[in-house]
Copies of this chain bind each other. A is one copy, B any other.
Amino acid sequence: MAEQTLSIALFSGTDDRLQAATTLIAGAAAMERPVHVLLQFWALDAFRADRIRKDHGTSPEAGAAGLAAMQRHGGMHWADVLAQAKELGDVTIRACAHSMEMLEFQLEDLDPLVESVEGVASFVADASGSVVFI
């Protein structure tokens, strides 16, 4: 069952959750498990071509100490982890049609990591394995 698709509805756009999400995606890709990501709401906003590498803040619960730990730790930016996971494994990143409309984005407004636009029904139809909401 390890080759089951991981379907991730990525909703949150803060750097701590995006980092946790991409770690999970990279882990799945390393285990040769296909990953389908649907970007919604604030996660979609974080993938704007002109913003993806900007500061997206953290969850309020991170606090000053958590933020300091993240900054001290450094490491690869989550967008680079994601790019690497896409090269290494079967990782598809799509933008949710409903959120695209709400945020008034066109596909060309987004970072090239995002391949296309997809409706939620199609995302669910493909989700034969686990659905994860982040």
Contact B133 A133 (CB under 8 A): yes
Q: Using a CB-CB cutoff of 8 Å, which residues 88-126 of chain A contact chain B?
A: 96, 98, 101-104, 119-121, 123-125
Q: Which residues of B contact A66 (CB under 8 A)?
A: 41-42, 45
Copies held by the complex:
3
Q: State in angstroms the CA–CA spacing of A99 and B60 once bound together.
A: 18
Q: Is A30 engaged at the interface, CB distance under 8 Å to the other chain?
A: yes
The reply to whether B123 and A27 contact each other, CB–CB distance below 8 Å, is yes
Within 8 A of B (CB), among A1-46: 1-2, 4, 6, 9, 11-14, 16-17, 20-21, 23-24, 26-28, 30-31, 33, 40-42, 45
Q: Which B residues are in CB contact (< 8 Å) with A11?
A: 16-17, 20
User: Which of B16, B57, B124 meets A28, CB within 8 Å?
Assistant: B124
User: A84: which B residues are within 8 A, CB to CB?
Assistant: none
When A and B form their complex, which 6 residue pairs have the shortest distance between CB atoms, in order from nearest? Answer: A27-B120, A1-B128, A27-B121, A73-B102, A27-B124, A130-B131
Interface status of A83 (Cβ within 8 A of chain B): no
Given known A-B contacts A6-B131, A14-B61, A24 and B124 have beta carbons under 8 A apart? yes
Min distance, Cβ A29 to any Cβ of chain B, angstroms: 9
